[in-house]
Amino acid sequence: NTYYVPDDVTYKDWKKQYVTDAIKVEDKKLYDKYKDILGKSAPSVEKFIEIKYNMDDWNQFKAYSSSVKSGELTALADFDLYQSTSREIDNKLVGIVTSNNITITGKSDHCIARVIGSVAQRRNGVQVDDILDALTNKESEIFPIKENKNGRSQKFRNKVLEVSVNPETGNIIQVNPVHSRKKEKS
């Protein structure tokens, strides 16, 4: 349809009246729910709609929001950081072969949050290059495979961090920084 806009209407006013009105009521309600969780780190409603209708982005956004809601991530770590961290993990780690011949095939959402770290949980993040080193360096300590209720896992530890991998699927489960223990006084 063609419609005419008065000369004195700013783009911001036009957008507010015509673009926002075109968004479905259900989408606005859902956006408000996520805005409550993410606060100032929430994307604009327009960006939210773009994310919602892209299945890969939407799944990541839900995982990111869940991590913020649980306190595993701070809302200061915005969705762009979450996505770029996920891409960095994929680019540097997926396809590599560990020092004990496990091919890395992917990572959990939990892994992404652990790489970034958490202010609320006082958990430092880690560098993806350090994960690569722990997985491929022959000097890294490799722990025996553990049987857990969620499946199997094997840990790789270097001086900086510890990485848990599912040895059957090649999926990185999580990463944790290694804390140096204080020497006991005698």
* DSSP string of 94-126, one letter each residue: TT-B-TTSPBP-EE-HHHHHHHH-BTTTTB---
Strands 151-157 and 171-177: what pairing?
Answer: unpaired
Report the sign of the C-alpha dihedral through residues 23, 26, 32, 33, in that order.
negative
Least confident piece of the model among 52-56, 96-100, 130-134 = 52-56
What is the reported pLDDT for 73? 87
What is the reported pLDDT for 1? 65
Count of all residues that appear for the chain in the document = 186
Q: Please, are residues 156 and 163 in contact by the beta-carbon 8 Å criterion?
A: yes
Q: How large is the average pLDDT for residues 7-17?
A: 74
What is the per-residue pLDDT across 66-114, written as a single tens digit (0 to 9) for each? 999 988 888 778 899 999 999 999 999 999 999 999 999 999 999 999 9
4: confidence class by pLDDT, cuts 50, 70, 90:
confident
Distances (CA, A) of 153 to 42, 100, 115, 168: 34, 13, 18, 9
Least confident piece of the model among 9-18, 32-41, 89-98, 144-153 = 9-18
Give residue 94's identity as a one-letter amino acid code: V
